[in-house]
């Protein structure tokens, strides 16, 4: 399951300490991915569509807070280069 929260309040991001999380960057590309554990990420730049295996595509972009549940297998399609804060667990 993928959950997208569009434009969360800055107070929520500060409370979650999002801006202290590591940053990951990737150019436009397509690749398979499986989540061994839950990941929460805050998209700083870019545009992405993630399609769960056997499921419907989910799109998100800069300003979105996205959660991927553990066990999810999917395909990432990075449409515009992405830069995100992320945290596992």
What is the predicted pLDDT for the residue at 54? 95
The pLDDT confidence band at residue 81, using thresholds 50, 70 and 90, is very high
Q: What is the mean pLDDT of residues 29-35?
A: 98
Give me the percent of the chain exceeding a pLDDT of 90.
100
* Average pLDDT of the chain to the nearest whole number: 98
Domains held by the chain: number: 1
Residue 11, helix vs strand vs coil: helix
Give the total residue count for the chain. Answer: 89
What pLDDT digit, counting tens, does each position of 49-67 carry? 999 999 999 999 999 999 9
Residue 39 has a pLDDT of 98
Tokens (6 digits) for 28: 């436009």
What average pLDDT score do residues 15-29 get?
98
- Residue 59: CATH number of its domain: 2.60.120.10
User: Given this model, what pLDDT does residue 61 score?
Assistant: 98
For residue 10, give every residue at least 6 positions away whose Cβ sits within 8 Å of its Cβ, in sequence order, or none: none
- What residue numbers bound the domain in which 17 lies? 2-88
């Amino acid at each position: 399951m993928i959950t997208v929260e569009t434009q969360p309040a800055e107070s929520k991001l500060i409370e979650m300490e999002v801006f202290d999380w590591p940053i990951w960057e990737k150019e436009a590309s397509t690749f398979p991915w499986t989540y061994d554990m839950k990941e929460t990420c805050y998209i700083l730049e870019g545009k992405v569509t993630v399609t769960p295996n056997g499921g419907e595509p989910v799109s998100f972009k800069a300003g979105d807070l996205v959660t991927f549940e553990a066990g999810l297998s999917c395909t990432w399609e990075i449409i515009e280069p992405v830069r995100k804060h992320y945290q596992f667990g």
